[in-house]
Amino acid sequence: MDISGKSMVITGGASGIGAALALRAAGAGARVCIADLNLNAAQTLAQEIGGIAVVCDVSQEAQIIAAIGAAEKLHGPVDIFVSNAGLGRGDPSHAASAPDADWMLNWNVHVMAHVWAARALLPAMIARGSGYFVNVASAAGLLNQIGDAAYSATKHAAVSFAESLKITHEADGIGVSVVCPQYVATPLIGLGDRDAAGNLLTADQVAQTVWQGVADETFVILPHPDVGKYNALRGADPARWIKGMQMLRAKALAEQGGIEVSSFYKLV
């Protein structure tokens, strides 16, 4: 899909990968609505790129619908919806130790937000025979994020829902991409561009890969190509894969004294 001239909404668009996606999309001629919890940051970026900003808590269906309405009022029907907002809180101790509130927040932000956006947009997209969903999941949705069971489980569900959209609605003229990056230097893990090196990508590097993937209508977009190889190994020999992940967890505990995402990337 050519994003030039397209109307799009990007959730979590005020910082990190979302902001990088917005900057590149606007540079390519898209009309961008930045939807974010941080309205001030969203407005600042929107002013920079000539877009619009709306406050949006994606854990609330009504706020996603309102963001879509605001975008449509100024930019016309939404052509591309980017479900990018996310969070990560980690396991307090054992794999089931996170409270129900954290599990449900992960579920609503990483899964239901994608569902609610599709529910709001699919009828009109089907009627006009066009539209595109870019659902930002994670390499954890194909593999696993050691130390955050809620994040991993819901990112797996996000990948599955994107697959359902693709299977069901490609014949309706609707495109779907699911983005599965590994570690990215963003505020989500307390890092910035200056920290990026090697396998730790900048948000802009991810955004460049995403929009190229959308241009090619690639379903699974992998900013870190090695994730594809890891996923193949996981499918070919699950027992060996689990053993390797257990060894990686043990290495983190031995060398870093715990599972901290802000430093865990150094081990992979």
- Which residues participate in catalysis according to the annotation? 151
CA 262 vs CA 88, 180, 185, 193, 211: distances in Å: 11, 18, 9, 13, 26
User: What would the two tokens of residue 166 be?
Assistant: 């693709």
Phi, psi (rounded to 5 degrees) for 7: -90, 125
Burial of 259 per CB tally in 10 Å (0-12, 13-18, 19+): middle
- Residue whose structure tokens are 């994608």: 114
Contact 23, 17 (CB under 8 A): no
**3-class DSSP state of 215:** helix
Contact 33, 71 (CB under 8 A): yes
